[in-house]
Structures are given as C-alpha cells and as structure tokens.
C-alpha cells in the first residue's frame, strides 16, 4: 500500500536501558474493498453486496544501539482490528507484543498452503474444524533465524477469564535444505478451562516451488482433553503465477473426527486474483461436504471482490 501521509515525530524512550531517545516516522495507509458474496441455496444471502475499509498506521525508529522498534495499528471499518509492537535486535531476533494478529507461533502457520485468494475452509459452516487457534490477545512473540533455520514462538498468559494457565507454541522452519523447498514443523499447548483441559496441537508442512508453480502439503493435529474430540486435518494445494499480474490456485482439505459416527469433512476451493497497480480483483469459490462431520450437511460460498490500496 502506498503511504498517503507521513508524520515526523521524536519519542523519548527512557524505559529502554540501551538508549535515551529515537526519532522515527508514522506512515498512514488504507484499503477499500467492494465484495459480492453468494451463499448456497439453503441459506439466505440477503443483500450480496458489501464494502469494508481498512486504515493502518505504522511507525518505526532506530535506537542508539542499532536496534529498531516498530509499531503497527490496524482498523477495519473504523473499529480496532490489530496492533503489534516489535523490537528488532538484529542477528539475535525480534521480540514482539501483538494484539489481534497471529504473527508468531503455531497460529501464524495454521495454513501455509499456497493460494491465490482465501483458504479453502474460509467463510463456511465448518471453517473452525481442524484449524489450530491460539489466543492473540496481548501475546508475547519471538522470531529469529539461525544457521538456516527459522524459529517462531508465542506465549499467551491467561487473563483469569475462561481459560486457566497459559498457551505457548513454537515453530521451526527451513528453506535452505533444497532449492525451492520450504519445510516447517510446529507444536503448541493451548490453555483450557481447567488445569487438565489443555489442547495439544501440532502441524507439519512442506511447499515446493518450481518456476511459476508452487505445490504444498500440510498435516495438522488437534488433541483435545475431552474423549472422542480429536481432529486431524490434511490439506494440499497448487498455485500458479500465470503471469506477473494473474494467479490461480486449487486446493482440498479433509478433516477427520475421532468421534464415532462422524464423517470426514471435505473442503475444496478454487481462487484467482489479478493485480493492476494498486487495484486487485479476486474471486474464489469454496465448497464443503459433511460440515462438522454431519453427513448431508453441506455448504458453499462464492465471492468476487475488488480491492484498492492507497
């Protein structure tokens, strides 16, 4: 997005022992999207037209010791969406505090399959099934790269509300083992409503890029404390950059439920996107069979959108 305004600023940073002050700038950018969405025949679509707007503020500055600190605040339709504060320590890595956005840990890698638009499970009745989630409210994070391996971790302390204890996760990635190949493995422990109700999660993925084509496979497991409630998801997809402006993808996701009597939930999706300057035209269609494992409970959605960045 193109910056539309810059505001110079000087901020005191006396709480940071390594520096006395730093100077930086705040950049303001925005997006506007017009959407046409159609549900399946069993649902009432209503008015299929909608529009949303985003406004983002980003700021950064350099400390006396060479480290940099950056801030991001995003509003969607004039309502808070997400924010993050990051301290880049160079070769040592980056620490962050994020709210409303999954920038580190296993949730940031919940779906790494290539797509030209939405994920194949988005905007469907069973979209939460088989997808690893962790609280993004005021989450501490770390990311770094060492000897060809990327490390990403997240820690979220329970606020004393519905969850007890803390959630934590980490992911190890590598893109140096072979040209065009990226691999990743992650594990997480998600807090539950009691000390013995935590959820163990894990995911492993791989993508391979050859020229304009990228293919990927991801396996995720959600091991819940309640009996017969585990979920396993297998997801694969292929995307292609047809030219410098046009991309397309196709993918499939299958969720297996531990509970007896539940069918596999299958999601398929096709997406295309075309970029022309600051405008992007996108379209996707997603279909779902056996939503939530219930036979005959299907869903589908088709969307066309035009987005402008400024």
* Structural domains of the chain, with CATH: 5-309 (2.40.160.10)
Mean pLDDT value of segment 127-134: 93
pLDDT of residue 24: 61
pLDDT of residue 23: 52
Is residue 31 within 8 Å of residue 309, measured between CB atoms?
A: yes
Which sign does the torsion angle of CA 112, 115, 117, 123 carry?
negative
CA distance 225 to 258: 12
pLDDT 10s digits, 13-51? 333 333 444 456 789 999 999 999 988 767 766 889 999
pLDDT 10s digits, 50-69? 999 999 999 999 888 889 99
- For residue 122, pLDDT over 70 is answered with yes
Is residue 276 within 8 Å of residue 245, measured between CB atoms?
A: yes
CA distance 145 to 288: 38
pLDDT 10s digits, 201-260? 999 999 999 999 999 999 999 999 889 999 999 999 999 999 999 999 999 999 999 999
Task: Note the pTM of the prediction, 2 decimals.
Answer: 0.87
Is residue 290 within 8 Å of residue 282, measured between CB atoms?
A: no
- For residue 263, pLDDT over 90 is answered with yes
pLDDT 10s digits, 151-180? 999 999 875 566 778 999 999 999 988 999
């Amino acid at each position: 997005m193109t910056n539309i305004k810059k505001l110079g600023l000087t901020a005191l940073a006396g709480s940071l022992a390594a520096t006395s002050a730093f100077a930086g700038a705040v950049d303001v950018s925005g997006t506007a999207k017009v959407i046409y969405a159609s549900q399946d025949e069993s649902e009432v679509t209503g008015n299929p037209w909608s529009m949303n707007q985003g406004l983002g503020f980003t700021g950064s500055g350099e400390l006396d010791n060479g480290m940099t600190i950056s801030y991001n605040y995003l509003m969607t339709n004039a309502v808070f969406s997400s924010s993050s504060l990051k301290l880049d320590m160079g070769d040592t890595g980056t620490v962050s505090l994020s709210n409303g956005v999954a920038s580190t840990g296993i949730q940031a890698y919940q779906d790494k399959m290539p797509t030209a638009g939405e994920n194949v499970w988005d905007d469907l009745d069973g979209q939460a099934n088989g997808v690893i989630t962790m609280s993004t409210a005021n989450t501490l994070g770390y990311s770094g790269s060492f000897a060809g391996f990327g490390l990403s971790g997240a820690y979220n302390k329970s606020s004393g509300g519905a969850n007890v204890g803390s959630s934590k996760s980490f992911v190890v990635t590598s893109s140096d083992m072979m040209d065009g190949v990226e691999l990743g493995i992650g594990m997480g422990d998600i807090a539950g409503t009691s000390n013995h109700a935590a959820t163990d999660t894990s995911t492993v993925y791989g993508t391979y890029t050859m020229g304009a084509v990228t293919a990927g496979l991801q396996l995720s497991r959600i091991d819940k404390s309640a009996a017969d409630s585990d979920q396993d998801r297998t997801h694969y997809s292929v995307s292609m950059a047809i030219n410098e402006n046009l991309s397309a993808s196709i993918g499939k996701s299958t969720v297996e439920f531990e509970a007896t009597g539940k069918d596999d939930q299958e999601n398929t999706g096709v997406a295309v996107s075309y970029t022309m300057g600051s405008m992007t035209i996108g379209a996707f269609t997603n279909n779902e069979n056996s939503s939530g494992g219930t036979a005959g409970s299907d869903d589908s959605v088709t969307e066309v959108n035009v987005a402008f960045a400024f």
